Chains A and B, each alone.
Chain A
Amino acid sequence: MTEILRLENVSKSFGGNHAVNDVSFSLEEGEIIGLIGPNGAGKTTLVNLITGVHPLTSGKVIFAGEDVSKQQAFQAARRGLARTFQIVQPFPNMTVLENVAAGALFGGGTGSVQDALESAHQELKFVGLDAVADTPASALALPNRKRLELAKSLAMRPKFLLLDEVNAGLNASEIDGALDLIRKIAARGVTILIIEHLMKVVLSISQRILVLHHGELIAQGDPRTVIEDPQVVEAYLGSKFAARVKAESHHV
């Protein structure tokens, strides 16, 4: 397996506040990685650092062998570093199809508007939104807006996809649908980093988990090891939950 993303001592401060502090890790191509941590741990900031939304205070981000620490957001998108937002960000008055076509046209580097619309159609089929292709994005309900976000990022032909709480606000059956979709995306060979609060979801889908706390990476490794890590239990899971998950996993 080849390395796709490496962070070397990445830090970000806002004034005196160290939102992300000396974080280093390396991800392999094709992995699904969970990123967990309490609220305010710096998860979204970390995503913003990787995708060029915020400049780094110090450290290095290396993507596919290239130092991209100084990239801007639009350059990240063109390199194949796509993301979804915790709060969905559609182009409200454009149709669902046009929304996705924007991803194909600019991030995916399709030549013409026509080609972009065509490839957008394919992605809409893939996420199951082709029935609403011509409705304005603002008319969609939340689960479909989340799917739209996914379709938009997929149209960018990403090598690496960062999903910031794609399941927040969805009910149990909607989450199952979303997870199927994420697995299907991974099967296309896209490396996925998923931020998620629902531990069940993280455990079921991730091959590896990173845990952030106060901006520091306090644990990483395969899911079973991580949830037994005393530091993680202390900082995030709580001892009760850890015990329950452990018990459940013994039953399986």
Chain B
Amino acid sequence: MKQFLYFGVFALWVAMIAATPLLADNYTIRIAISIAMFSGMAVSWNFIGGFTGYPSFSTAAFFGLGCYAGAIAQRNGIPLVMAWLLATLFVAVFAAMLGAIILRLKGHYFAIGSIAIVDLTRLITSSWGSLTGGGDGLNVPLLQGSPQEVSALVLYVMLAILIVAFLTSIYVDRSRLGFGLKCISQNEEAADMVGVNTTSFKVVAYTLSAVFCGAIGAVYASWVGYIDPTDSFSILLTLKVPVMVLLGGAGTLLGPVLGAGVFVMLEEVFWANFLEWNRAILGGIIVFLIFFLPNGLLKIQYRTLFGMLMQKLREAPKEAEKSS
């Protein structure tokens, strides 16, 4: 029953985003692409940060490597789709190898280690000028077609990645793998003791959290046509994605999608109206989340909240009578 609800809500949301090229202007399509892109990354992050409980901040590293791998592959004559797939594969292998090392760290140490990966990959990319163009960035072959066609194509590819990521998360949630990841997030020592191969489970979760980000990065590079190290390996991106998941509800299936949607739209509003203050507002949202919504939007007891509100409303006239 609950599963159908998840599928239904998700399908409806995807259909709405997918309809934008038919109904709306280019600005709205851009926002739709943004939502699809960040939802995909949020669903990815949920594998390691939500299910496994490891606060990873490596998202931007995977995204950036995806950008560059896709771009470099295309510049060397590999056809578009092949280049995207190659970039995805490259990022997956990178994450699996890196995970085997970095996942020995726990808690805050892991968080700091994972954020260092972003800076490290950025530094390597900007120093390795002969391959990556260094600080000058890289031009990526443009997608063929009119602006409308290009943005529709990008939107549908991003949505496809999101759908695959979402279905994977449903599968993982129900499988032996997901069960083991939840055990790890609750008590890693006990998980080890009941026979969970914690190291390999964590590596799989970390790789899953990377693979879709790599694909999204590669598509993004083709969309914007130009990438540079600061844009691709952005610290802000690496922070935003976890915040989105926390906003929606970490470890839940719909939470990341909900959080990413809400966040991108809020950001759009703030960006448009408070150009100078939007970063401060992002900070404000993070603080608000930690204090008031530690479990995310999905875990709020809406019924209780509604009941309390109704109670207050019913009492209000009585209070007024008393005071008069």
* Chain A contact residues, CB within 8 Å of chain B: 51, 72-74, 77-78, 82-83, 85, 89-94, 98, 101-103, 105-109, 112-113, 116, 152, 156
User: Contacts of B198 on A, CB cut-off 8 Å?
Assistant: 74
Given A102-B179, A105-B179, A113-B175, is A93 in contact with B186 using a C-beta cutoff of 8 Å? yes
Which of A77, A94, A98, A105 lies in contact with B193, CB distance below 8 A? Answer: A77
Within 8 A of A (CB), among B175-216: 175-176, 179-180, 182-183, 186-187, 189-198
User: Contacts of A92 on B, CB cut-off 8 Å?
Assistant: 186-187
Give A78 to B175 CA distance when docked, in angstroms: 19
Give A231 to B179 CA distance when docked, in angstroms: 49
The answer to whether B191 and A102 have CB atoms under 8 Å apart is yes
User: Contacts of A82 on B, CB cut-off 8 Å?
Assistant: 193
Give A158 to B189 CA distance when docked, in angstroms: 18
| Majority-rule SS of B interface residues | helix
The answer to whether A102 and B176 have CB atoms under 8 Å apart is no
Give A107 to B194 CA distance when docked, in angstroms: 5
The answer to whether B194 and A106 have CB atoms under 8 Å apart is yes
User: Contacts of B196 on A, CB cut-off 8 Å?
Assistant: 74, 102, 106
Give A217 to B61 CA distance when docked, in angstroms: 54
Distance (whole angstroms) from the CB of B51 to the closest CB of chain A: 13
* Chain B contact residues, CB within 8 Å of chain A: 174-176, 179-180, 182-183, 186-187, 189-198
Give A74 to B195 CA distance when docked, in angstroms: 4
The answer to whether B195 and A90 have CB atoms under 8 Å apart is no
Give A98 to B190 CA distance when docked, in angstroms: 13
Distance (whole angstroms) from the CB of B134 to the closest CB of chain A: 44
Distance (whole angstroms) from the CB of B70 to the closest CB of chain A: 37
User: Contacts of B194 on A, CB cut-off 8 Å?
Assistant: 77, 102-103, 106-107, 152, 156
Given A90-B190, A94-B186, A113-B174, is A74 in contact with B197 using a C-beta cutoff of 8 Å? yes
Give A208 to B17 CA distance when docked, in angstroms: 71
The answer to whether B189 and A89 have CB atoms under 8 Å apart is yes
Pairs across A and B, CB under 8 Å, 26 listed: A74-B195, A74-B196, A74-B197, A74-B198, A77-B192, A77-B194, A77-B195, A89-B189, A89-B190, A90-B187, A91-B190, A92-B186, A93-B186, A94-B182, A94-B183, A94-B186, A98-B179, A101-B179, A102-B180, A103-B194, A106-B176, A106-B183, A112-B176, A113-B174, A152-B194, A156-B195
